[in-house]
């Protein structure tokens, strides 16, 4: 009869198992334990606890295995108080040193975030088996003590206990947390030695470790060598390609990595797997980095079809994707359609409005967020201050800056000060910007000094400009564009000794030549442009560009302000660029106007920041052709509509 209870329990029919148990003429501890085990394994741990209490009232004495099952039930329902009572019971009857009881106690205390008690329970175990060691290692990992977990793993090996697949995956997970590649490689070797190399869980864990540590070649070799894959495998490699985009040597390489991620996602859809929230959020992030609106829209449609759009993670990723692709209207619509919103969702939408120059919408959304009882964090206030900076709202910005500190006890960080300095520089209030810098609790970084230097250059404030330039030189800037800004400042004042200093600095830092490169995607094909490749796309495009330049000059008074420093830095040995060379984004926009439908927005990616002349040209063309032009450069997104740019005419500082 007890075997029959076990059969029904293992088949998931607890109602029949309970009926058989109720008809037992005699009930021993094995029968009680079998019924409890069935309820625990069928996710009815609260009923298992009731059966345990009934057993005690009936007068049966639990065995060590019974107590282990009861403790597992406590873990499942997060009942640490009841677990402590059972722990006390085990101490009373001197069985707390038992392996199964100790293992269950270790898991219970770990799940209830009491790592010290979990370790004490482990240390009391008389005969520790692989489950015991795995329990304490997992406990350390689950409670953010990865280093301690790895130490327990080395002790386990020294104790001649062979790890199983659960031990190895837990250890590899902790290596990922600590970005400990050397330890992870040793675990990889051990898994091969123990014959676990074909194990999919372990291969996934190893691949994810290599991805997290930037060893993309090894990760891709593992991925390409897998005969069997899981959804976790696919999600990991998609996320890995996203990481590779961040670390790519140039933007075109990043775009190629993004294309590979899209190919893996397509393979996922065709292989019978159903994408989950992690699949969708990862691929939407890739689309946002690629500026790939069409592919993002297809993923959006798929989330609607599969019902994943209601998830907050997917919804937030969708908002970010539309924002990064320059479609603030769709980003706002996606945000409004979210069934529930987190702080990250609110913050993302506020930042999106700020980046697109929609200050009132950003500030109104911030007030709506506060009315909903959501407490803003540091990043939220960066979005709010950025919105104020866009519109030159000095009083409002200073008010929010004070509110952040007094009402929300948030200490200002570099990004908050950057927003204030950006605002004052935009307004030409350079002295006020300098006062903010002097009030900072930490030394300004390269970005802040560069902002102020650009403002000094624009307004002709040479005294402050040269002071700022000296401060920048002390930091030994690593950004090529910053060095060019310094070069231009010194050249315009004929300070050739300082020019030499900057050039020496660039050699010392091994700063590469600033190559001007833009590209546009049309019908899933990428077209790239460089200033000196005049023959690549034929005479028609260049004739059309000349016409556009003439129209811009005659109708809207556009004046070319091409940056001479860029051309100078791009010169190669034995090769000088022609004086009438056009920057790459102009070539890309001319190509787009010739080859895309009349109503279609033109989306261009540029690897460096736009110069002021190109910025003015795009404003002119968007007005003349009634065309929406969206360019994402190395600094920000520019959306040109009817002669205006979403950056708030930040082009004056370029």
**Do 528 and 635 sit in the same domain of this protein?**
yes
Nearest CA-CA partner of 42 in 4, 69, 2, 11: 11
Given pLDDT bands bounded at 50, 70 and 90, which one contains residue 566? very low
Confirm whether 504 is domain-assigned: yes
Domain span at residue 498? Answer: 457-509
DSSP code per residue over 484-502: HHHHHHHHHTT-HHHHHHH
Q: Are 616 and 561 in contact (CB under 8 A)?
A: yes
More confident residue, 317 or 503: 317
Q: What pLDDT score was predicted for residue 493?
A: 77
Confirm whether 526 is domain-assigned: yes
Q: Cα(558)–Cα(605) distance, rounded to whole angstroms?
A: 23
Secondary structure, 3-state, 58-91: HCCCCCHHHHHHHHHHHHHCCCHHHHHHHHHHHH
Of 509, 531, 548, which marks where a domain is finished? 509
- At 637, phi and psi to the nearest 5? -100, 130
**Do 588 and 625 sit in the same domain of this protein?**
yes
SS3 377: coil
CA distances from 283 to 204, 252, 254, 525 (A): 19, 18, 14, 19
Q: Are 234 and 267 in contact (CB under 8 A)?
A: yes
**Do 637 and 523 sit in the same domain of this protein?**
yes
**Do 494 and 609 sit in the same domain of this protein?**
no
Q: Cα(540)–Cα(534) distance, rounded to whole angstroms?
A: 11
Give the lowest-confidence range in 39-48, 147-156, 572-581: 572-581
**Do 500 and 528 sit in the same domain of this protein?**
no
Mean pLDDT of the region 619-646? 87
Per DSSP bridges, beta strands 518-522 and 629-632 are unpaired
Number of domains in the chain: 2
Q: What pLDDT score was predicted for residue 410?
A: 94
pLDDT, one tens digit per residue, over 211-229 is 888 888 888 888 888 888 8
Q: Cα(350)–Cα(331) distance, rounded to whole angstroms?
A: 11
**Do 620 and 601 sit in the same domain of this protein?**
yes
SS3 625: coil
Of 468, 487, 509, which marks where a domain is finished? 509
Mean pLDDT of the chain: 86
Could you tell me the pTM of the whole model? 0.76
**Do 504 and 608 sit in the same domain of this protein?**
no
Confirm whether 69 is domain-assigned: no
CA distances from 549 to 95, 552, 554, 564, 601 (A): 88, 5, 9, 18, 20
Q: Is 318 exposed, middle or buried (0-12, 13-18, 19+ CB in 10 A)?
A: buried
H/E element holding 606?
Answer: strand 602-606
Confirm whether 539 is domain-assigned: yes
β-partners of residue 632 are 605, 637
Rounded to 10°, the helix 414-426/394-406 angle is 170
Q: Are 169 and 138 in contact (CB under 8 A)?
A: no
Q: Are 431 and 459 in contact (CB under 8 A)?
A: no
Q: Are 184 and 206 in contact (CB under 8 A)?
A: yes
Secondary structure, 3-state, 114-150: CHHHHHHHHHCCCCCCHHHHHHHHHHHHHCCCHHHHH
Looking from the CA of 333 toward its CB, the CA atoms found within 13 Å total 6
Q: Cα(483)–Cα(374) distance, rounded to whole angstroms?
A: 42
pLDDT at 533 over 70: no
Mean pLDDT of the region 248-255? 77
Q: What pLDDT score was predicted for residue 541?
A: 83
CA distances from 177 to 113, 131, 137, 153 (A): 18, 22, 14, 15
With left for phi above 0 and alpha for psi between -120 and 50, is residue 636 left, alpha or beta? beta
Confirm whether 306 is domain-assigned: no
Confirm whether 216 is domain-assigned: no
**Do 492 and 608 sit in the same domain of this protein?**
no
SS3 399: helix
pLDDT at 650 over 80: no
**Do 622 and 553 sit in the same domain of this protein?**
yes
Mean pLDDT of the region 40-44? 89
pLDDT, one tens digit per residue, over 160-179 is 999 999 999 999 999 998 98
Of 478, 509, 540, which marks where a domain is finished? 509
Enumerate residues 6+ apart whose C-beta is below 8 A from 336. Answer: none
**Do 546 and 477 sit in the same domain of this protein?**
no
Q: Cα(136)–Cα(652) distance, rounded to whole angstroms?
A: 60
**Do 525 and 640 sit in the same domain of this protein?**
yes
* Dihedral of the alpha carbons of 544, 545, 546, 548, in degrees to the nearest 10: 90
Confirm whether 387 is domain-assigned: no
**Do 502 and 594 sit in the same domain of this protein?**
no
pLDDT, one tens digit per residue, over 298-326 is 999 999 999 888 888 999 999 999 998 88
User: Which DSSP symbol is given to 601?
Assistant: P
Secondary structure, 3-state, 179-199: CCHHHHHHHHHHHHHCCCCCC
Nearest CA-CA partner of 448 in 479, 490, 411, 492: 479
Order the strands of the 525-529 sheet from edge to edge: 525-529, 518-522, 602-606, 629-632, 637-641, 644-645
Confirm whether 609 is domain-assigned: yes
pLDDT at 564 over 50: no
């Amino acid at each position: 009869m007890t075997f029959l209870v076990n059969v029904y329990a293992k088949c998931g029919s607890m109602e029949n198992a309970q009926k058989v148990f109720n008809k037992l003429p005699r009930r021993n501890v094995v029968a009680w334990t079998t019924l409890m085990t069935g309820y625990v394994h069928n996710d009815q741990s609260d009923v298992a606890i009731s059966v345990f209490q009934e057993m005690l009232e009936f007068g049966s004495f639990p065995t060590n295995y019974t107590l282990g099952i009861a403790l597992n039930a406590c873990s499942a329902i997060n009942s640490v108080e009841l677990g402590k009572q059972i722990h006390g019971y085990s101490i009373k009857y001197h069985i707390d040193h038992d392996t199964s009881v100790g293992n269950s106690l270790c898991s219970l205390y770990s799940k209830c975030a009491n790592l010290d008690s979990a370790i004490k329970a482990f240390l009391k175990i008389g005969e520790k088996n692989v489950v015991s060691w795995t329990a304490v290692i997992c406990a350390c990992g689950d409670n953010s003590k990865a280093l301690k977990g790895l130490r327990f793993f080395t002790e386990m090996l020294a104790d001649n206990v062979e790890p199983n697949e659960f031990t190895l995956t837990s250890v590899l997970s902790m290596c990922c947390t600590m970005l400990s590649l050397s330890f992870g490689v040793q675990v990889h070797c051990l898994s091969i030695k123990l014959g676990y190399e074909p194990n999919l869980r372990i291969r996934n864990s190893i691949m994810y470790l290599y991805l997290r540590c930037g060893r993309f070649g090894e990760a891709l070799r593992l991925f390409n060598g897998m005969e069997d894959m899981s959804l976790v495998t696919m999600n990991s490699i998609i996320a890995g390609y996203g990481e590779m985009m961040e670390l790519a040597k140039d933007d075109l390489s990043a775009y190629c990595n993004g294309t590979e991620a899209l190919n893996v996602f397509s393979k996922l859809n065709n292989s019978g797997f159903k994408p989950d929230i992690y699949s969708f959020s990862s691929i939407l992030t890739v689309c946002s980095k690629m500026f790939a609106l069409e592919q993002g829209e297809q993923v959006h449609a798929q989330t609607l079809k599969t019902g994943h759009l209601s998830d907050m993670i997917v919804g937030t990723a969708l908002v970010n994707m539309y924002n990064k692709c320059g479609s603030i209207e769709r980003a706002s619509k996606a945000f409004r359609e979210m069934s529930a919103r987190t702080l990250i969702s609110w913050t993302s939408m506020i930042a999106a409005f700020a980046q697109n120059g929609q200050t009132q919408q950003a500030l109104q959304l911030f007030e709506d967020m506060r009315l909903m009882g959501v407490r803003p964090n540091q990043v939220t206030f960066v979005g709010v201050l950025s919105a104020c900076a866009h519109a030159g709202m000095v009083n409002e910005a200073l008010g929010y800056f004070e509110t952040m500190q007094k009402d929300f006890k948030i200490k200002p960080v570099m990004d908050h000060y950057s927003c204030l300095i950006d605002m004052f520089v935009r307004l030409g209030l350079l002295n006020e910007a300098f006062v903010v810098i002097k009030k900072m609790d930490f030394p300004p970084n390269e970005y802040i000094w560069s902002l102020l230097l650009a403002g000094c250059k624009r307004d002709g404030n040479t005294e402050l400009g040269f002071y700022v330039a000296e401060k920048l030189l002390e930091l030994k800037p690593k950004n090529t564009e910053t060095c060019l800004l310094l070069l231009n400042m010194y050249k315009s004042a004929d300070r050739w000794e300082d020019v030499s200093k900057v050039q020496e600095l660039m050699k010392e830092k091994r700063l590469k030549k600033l190559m001007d490169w833009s590209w546009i995607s049309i019908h899933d094909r990428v077209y790239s442009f460089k200033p000196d490749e005049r023959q690549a796309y034929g005479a028609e495009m260049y004739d059309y560009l000349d016409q556009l330049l003439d129209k811009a000059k005659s109708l809207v008074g556009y004046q070319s302000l091409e940056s001479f420093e860029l051309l100078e830095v791009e010169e190669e040995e034995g090769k000088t660029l022609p004086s009438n060379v056009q920057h790459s984004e102009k070539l890309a926009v001319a190509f787009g106007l010739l080859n895309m439908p009349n109503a279609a927005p033109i989306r261009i990616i540029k690897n460096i920041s736009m110069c002021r002349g190109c910025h003015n040209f795009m404003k002119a063309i968007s007005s003349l052709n009634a065309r929406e032009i969206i360019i994402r450069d190395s600094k920000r997104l520019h959306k040109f509509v009817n002669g205006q740019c979403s950056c708030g005419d930040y082009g004056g500082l370029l």
